[in-house]
Chain A
Amino acid sequence: DIPMTQSPSSLSASIGDRVTITCQASQDINTYLNWYHQKPGKAPKLLIYGASNLETGVPSRFSGSGSGTHFTFTISSLQPEDIGTYYCQQYASLCSFGQGTKLEIK
């Protein structure tokens, strides 16, 4: 098991803001890192795979970067539909998720 630490646990931002979430792995996971978005009562939705690859159909305002133990997820210009909770997930050794970042509109 590889614990994943996400930060912040929650954040509030305005429409149009640049939003950044970080995910830290307890050991080197190369680029075996994905990002998901979940709205209340719904299943998670894949946004980024392999640390930096944008899933087909996902808007280009979403991006991911990083390798090894430190990863970053960015929304370049926050939109109202982006509210919800974001999770990182490692797949270098079995699977594990970060604790989530709840994003709200200010």
Chain B
Amino acid sequence: QEQLVESGGGVVQPGRSLRLSCAASGFTFSNYAFHWVRQAPGKGLEWVAAISYDEQNKGYADSVKGRFTISRDSSKNTVYLQMNSLRPEDTAVYFCGRDRVTFEMYNWIDPWGQGTLVTVSS
């Protein structure tokens, strides 16, 4: 079945970096765009970034632009989120999600991974 599994979360000090991974299986990876969405403890969903099926287009929320970079590796069926200059307000569960429509970007997100927790604290 279609599945996304995030990894790479943990505790990191402010100003440091962390890279999240999202491993995809059960579908043709290269046909789809992907998103990262985060949720701070007790708060709502916040869209973070997206990457097109061919890696030609990327989009970022203003809150992470210039600090976070989304990328993908088709040989590993994996999407990444490189997070630099981390701040305490970046503390959240980070979900990976697949765009539903093939060869397009910014539609509805399904399926989702289970999330990975990032805690930024000294």
Cα of A91 to Cα of B97 in the assembled complex, Å: 14
- Chain A residue numbers with a CB within 8 Å of B47 are 89, 94-97
Closest chain-B Cβ to A38's Cβ sits at a distance in Å of 7
Question: How far is B97's CA from A87's CA once the two chains are assembled, in angstroms?
Answer: 15
Q: Which residues of the other chain, B, contact A98 by a CB distance below 8 angstroms?
A: 44
- A60 CA / B117 CA spacing, docked (Å): 34
Q: Give chain B residues whose Cβ lies under 8 Å from the Cβ of A50.
A: 108
A44 at the interface (CB under 8 A from B): yes
A82 within 8 Å of B by Cβ?
no
Q: Select one of A44, A95, A99 contacting B112, CB under 8 A.
A: A44
Query: B107 to A49, Cβ gap below 8 A?
Result: yes
B11 close to chain A: CB less than 8 A:
no
Judge whether A87 and B112 touch: CB under 8 Å: no
| Nearest neighbor of A53 in chain B, beta-carbon distance | B108
Q: Mark A69-106, 1 if CB is under 8 A from B, else 0.
A: 00000000000000001010101001111111000000
Contact B106 A43 (CB under 8 A): no
Question: Could you list which residues of chain A lie within 8 angstroms of chain B, going by C-beta atoms?
Answer: 1, 34, 36, 38, 42-46, 49-50, 55, 85, 87, 89, 91, 94-100
Jot down 23 A-B pairs with beta carbons below 8 A, ordered by A.
A1-B61, A1-B62, A34-B109, A36-B45, A36-B109, A38-B45, A43-B112, A43-B115, A44-B109, A45-B112, A46-B110, A49-B108, A50-B108, A87-B44, A89-B109, A91-B106, A95-B106, A97-B37, A97-B44, A97-B46, A97-B47, A98-B44, A100-B45
Q: Footprint of A on B, CB under 8 Å?
A: 35, 37, 44-47, 50, 59, 61-62, 95, 97, 100, 106-110, 112-115
